[in-house]
Amino acid sequence: MEVPLLARIFTTVTWQIRSGSTARKEIRTKTEQRLDDLINRLTLLTDNVTEQARRKGFKGLVVIVDSMEKMHVKILDKHELTNDVMLFIEHAEQLKAFPCHMIATVPISLLSNCNMGMAFTDIDLIPMVKVVSPNGSPSAEGRDLLFRTVSLRAVIDNLFADSEVV
C-alpha cells in the first residue's frame, strides 16, 4: 500500500522538526514570515483533499490539530503580541475559512487571557480523559464520555461511516 503524499510530507517535516533545533528554528522562521501564504496553500490543499474524499463517497473532511497547547509562546512585537494570539485570535477568520471541520487544541492561556469567544463561538473545554488504562486495556467509561462529547458537537452518522470509527 502506498503512503499518501500528504502523510509523507507531514512525516518528513515532523522528523526534521524533532531531529534538531537548527531545522526547527529554520522551519519556524520561514513559517512565521509567510503565514498568509501558508494559510492560502493549506486552504487549496484542504479543498483538493475534500473534493477527492467526496468523490470516494466520504461526506467531508475533519482536520484535528493536536498539541497546539504545547506551542512555544514568543513575543512578536513591542505591543507584546504573542504568536499564539496571532495565530488563534488575529488569524481566526482565516482558520474558520478552511473548507472543513476543524478541531484544535489551544494554549489554555488563550482561554483565560484573551476573549476567544469573540473569535470562535464553538469552544469546548475538555479535561484529559482516560481512554486506555495503564495495563493497555480500553477504558469504556472514558471512551463513552468522548463519544458523547463528539455526538453533542456533530451528527455522528453524517461524519463517520460507523460509530466504531468515532
| Structure confidence by residue, pLDDT tens digits, 89-146 | 887 888 888 888 888 888 877 877 667 777 787 777 777 788 888 899 999 998 898 8
| Residue after which a domain boundary falls, among 124, 140, 157 | 124
Could you tell me the residue range of the domain that residue 92 belongs to? 34-124
Q: Are 10 and 42 in contact (CB under 8 A)?
A: no
Q: What value, to the nearest 5°, has the Cα angle with vertex 6 and ends 101 and 125?
A: 30
The verdict on 109 and 39 lying in the same domain is yes
Residue matched to cell numbers 494554549: 107
Give the integer Cα–Cα distance in Å for 71 and 67.
7
Average pLDDT over residues 57-78: 81
Q: Helix (H, G, I), strand (E, B), or coil: what is residue 125?
A: coil
Q: What value, to the nearest 5°, has the Cα angle with vertex 120 and ends 76 and 81?
A: 10
Structural domain count of the chain: 2
Least confident of 23-32, 52-61, 103-112, 133-142: 23-32
The verdict on 157 and 94 lying in the same domain is no
Q: Give the global pTM.
A: 0.54
Give the integer Cα–Cα distance in Å for 140 and 144.
6
